[in-house]
Amino acid sequence: MPLVAGVDSSTQSCKVEIRDCDTGRLIGRGSAPHPRTSPPVSEQNPQDWWNALSTALTMAVENAEISRYEIRGISVAAQCHGLVLLGADGSVLRPVKLWNDLTSAPQSEAMIAEMGAEFWADAVGSVPTAAFTVSKLAWVAENEPQLMDIAWGACLPHDWLTWKLSGRLVTDRSGASGTGYYSARQATYRWDILERFAGVDQSFHLPEVLGPDTASGRITVQAAQELGLDPEVVVGPGVGDQHAAALGMGIGQGDVVFSLGTSGVVMALSENSIHDPTGMVTGVCDATGRYLPLTCSLNSTKVVDWFRDLLGVDFDEFDRLALSVPSQDRTVTLAAFFDGERSPSLPYAMGILAGLTPETSRAQVARAGVDGVVMGLLEGLDAIEGCGVDTTARVIAAGGGAASQAWRQSIADLLGRPVHLLEAPGATVRGACLQAATLVAGVKIDEMVEAWRPPIVSTTHPKDQTSPWVRESYKELASYRGMDRRW
């Protein structure tokens, strides 16, 4: 049986899984941490990603008790939007600004003010925020112009790791469509945008955009030696993290996914490109040739981690507290803008906790922590549905937070629909494996998605008839803009 390796290089760590190409069966896994970051400045050195990949791969091989030479393909999924600025010799010119680096907020605001939100939505499918690569390029052009004078090109985190593996500077539609300078509808880079806001012309090197079934090539001799892999290993085009998760979960038409990790993402499939001038919905491509309209919050599981630490309880006790609060007692409301916010674009906002009285219980505070994040994500779902996207099939919870019953119950109660958990823990790295398996097997990616589609392992049904005032209280609180970190 041929084996494939998938890589999930996230903000916090690198995970590697080894799976059976034919069945998708997990053979082994490993992980290694990345240096911690803390917005508003969030930067990393990509060599740390490579070192973590090597460590995680070694752990996965040892866990699987296999020879590295049994691995026939490898693909990388990684955090989106980050700016890897390259010199002519292939060096990285500065630390990589990650997706959650907020320092380029003034640049994104200036772009929208100059061109208008409708221009951006029409041109590239999304209205830029501080997260987008185009905003980060503009920041470098304004604050470190000497680097732009010597820059040879730029790429995304998964592009850089694929380059290290294959020797080719490539990307896929999912990654390219989140840069802010690639037209998802026309499938081309917008050099007019790059020239205006980054001061570069078409001599500036950007990754070649490959199709979902197209290999980057074989692994380089150097990479094969460093990782101990067969030189004939095929390397995938790479994929953005949320897009890889959609692959790993095998989502279909009408499914809607709540992905609960460092970021909180709501996403669904679309056959047509989406262009939302409000900026709430990012109209990106998926990893199969379709589109994956999504909204992304900067504030998800880390918010609940903060509440858990504040209350001095472990995960199980936190869930017990949150689940013990009946609907009529959910009077504490949280607007969870701990790191500012991306959707809606509120880079300077701070979190607000309201509805406190002398009788407020620890349980009410715990439930507010979960509900506040979920209600922010429901605002994103409303925006996706407002773009005409079908979300009437399954509601799926994914990511690390999906393991918590409190998270799943909150979504079910507030949405009034059952929430499914799939047999796909680590959906992002599973999706990277699936992309590699597609290339090794020589089939179309839709065939592999169908063959690997995971079953439902549990369903959480709504318990409380959540009163409309719960969401109305949230909307009123979230619309308050007085809590501004620029004070």
Catalytic positions are: 241
Report phi then psi at 480, rounded to 5.
-75, 125
Can the peptide bond before residue 207 be classed as cis, meaning omega within 30 degrees of 0? no
Report phi then psi at 463, rounded to 5.
-105, -50
Contacts of 175 (CB under 8 A, 6+ apart): 80, 156, 158, 159, 207, 238, 239, 240, 243
| C-beta separation of 424 from 249 below 8 A | yes
Closest CA to 464 of 410, 395, 402, 404: 410
Secondary-structure breakdown of the chain: helix, strand, coil percentages, each rounded to the nearest 5? 40, 20, 40
Instruction: Please state, in angstroms and rounded to a whole number, the distance separating the CA atoms of residues 402 and 408.
Output: 6
Q: Work out the end-to-end distance of the chain between its first and last CA atoms, rounded to an integer number of angstroms.
A: 60
Residue that has been written with the tokens 């979504």 in this structure: 411
Name the amino acid, one letter, at 386: G
Residue 146, beta-bridge partner list: none
Rounded alpha-carbon distances, angstroms, from residue 19 to 74, 100, 112, 245, 440: 10, 31, 44, 16, 12
Residue that has been written with the tokens 């590239």 in this structure: 124
CB-facing half-sphere around the CA of 139: CA atoms within 13 A: 25
Closest CA to 72 of 162, 166, 1, 4: 4
| C-beta separation of 240 from 209 below 8 A | no
Instruction: Please state, in angstroms and rounded to a whole number, the distance separating the CA atoms of residues 297 and 100.
Output: 10
